[in-house]
Structure 1
């Protein structure tokens, strides 16, 4: 087992509540199988809780109450999609991943933990015009300009793209301005979650999808 560090326990208990045991089981599965299945590097095992699981769980602070559908693109090992599904069981979570070995892992995790996930083996672009979600998340997938091209068409009108980013977040927003406007992305901003709780807060770029007018003078939303 990979124990939850005492320094992170209060935050983990806040985020996962009575589902903390599920988060612990998921983390153990990832620690045991992740390196050999090419999901994480061997050096990541010791810092799974701090760098990955709690980091991703803090993203749920950005998901508004009342949200019902969420898609995670490039889910890989389930970061952040599986973590979000554990922390927010009221959400209908869809994991979008292109690689067969990763979708197989995600399906096994879903069966083991009973999360009720939808796992879709597909490129995000292949779902344009076919699926939309209130929230779309991504972590370590691509720079914001490219990520927006893949993900914003999947965001429902009035919904949000939530991208976990690092120190280059402001520069990525600046570089993506033209693409965001073209795709209906508005009000890009940077938020940090876990300030005062964890050593390295989670940095999230949020972009809203513009609500389109249905009739002249009428706005859908």
Structure 2
């Protein structure tokens, strides 16, 4: 059931290229041990490709070449592992506080042989100043007004936050505007990633940060 259907396979091959088999192996982990250990709900299995893996992986098109990326609240590796598979040129630091999730992530990274991934068991606020990155990613962590203080400080005053969001993205931006500005955000916009690849593009809030 975790095998991609025709249109998902086409999208996966476009996004992951010659690493598509790694993506397939990752989905196998999600559909088996990921469910067994409570990282993914069993009802999500038919939607692993469309709703989760491809939805996350297309964010790679918004990330510059060769940068360091910190993924906050990585959980089941969404989007962190998807980005690491899609882009071997990126260095991903997965930040996850829960031990059982960290253990699972370590097992998957080892099995896939991903050399561009580092995993840290910690809360995001505990590693401010200790993690080097120019892009921070997050998905399904919290509302933007709560997420911004957890993520933007990791950038050290320069870079961008890419937060995967849903239909409430614009509303969240309005509510978080003051805190984002206080944290050094100089522009905030809603982008659609994967427009030419996915039937339903991914909604991403991008916050650009610069020292004043």
Give the TM-score band, short-chain normalised. Answer: over 0.9
- TM-superposition CA deviations, 1:68-111 (whole Å, max 9, x none): 20010000000100010000011111000000000000000011
Unaligned runs of 5+ in 1: 213-221
CA deviations 1:2-46 (Å, max 9, x no partner) are: 211101222211110100000000001110111110101110011
Partner of 2:127: 127
After superposition, what is the alpha-carbon deviation per residue over 1:137-157, rounded to whole angstroms, capped at 9, x for unaligned? 000000001100000000144
**1:210 counterpart = 2:207:** no
Whole-angstrom distance in 2 between the partners of 1:49 and 1:106: 18
Matches of 2:181 and 2:158, distance apart in 1 = 14
Moved over 3 A (4+): none
In structure 2, the residue matched to 1:44 is 44
1:1-221 → structure 2 map (5 Å cutoff): 2-65=2-65, 67-116=66-115, 117-212=117-212
Task: Give the Cα–Cα distance (whole angstroms) in 2 for the partners of residues 127 and 196 of structure 1.
Answer: 36
Q: CA RMSD in A?
A: 1.2
Q: 8 Å contact 2:129–2:156 — kept in the other structure? A: no
Question: What's the secondary structure of 1:188's corresponding residue?
Answer: strand
Q: Name 1:219's counterpart in structure 2.
A: none
Instruction: Report the CA distance between 1:211 and its aligned residue.
Output: 3.2
Equivalent in the alignment of 1:216: none
TM-score (norm 1): 0.92
Could you say which structure has the higher strand fraction?
1
More helix by share: 2
Question: Which stretch has the larger CA shift, 152-161 or 69-78?
Answer: 152-161
Normalization by structure 2: what TM-score?
Answer: 0.96
User: How many aligned residue pairs are there?
Assistant: 211
C-alpha distance in 2 between matches for 1:132 and 1:154:
8
Contact 2:74 2:80 in 1 (8 A): yes
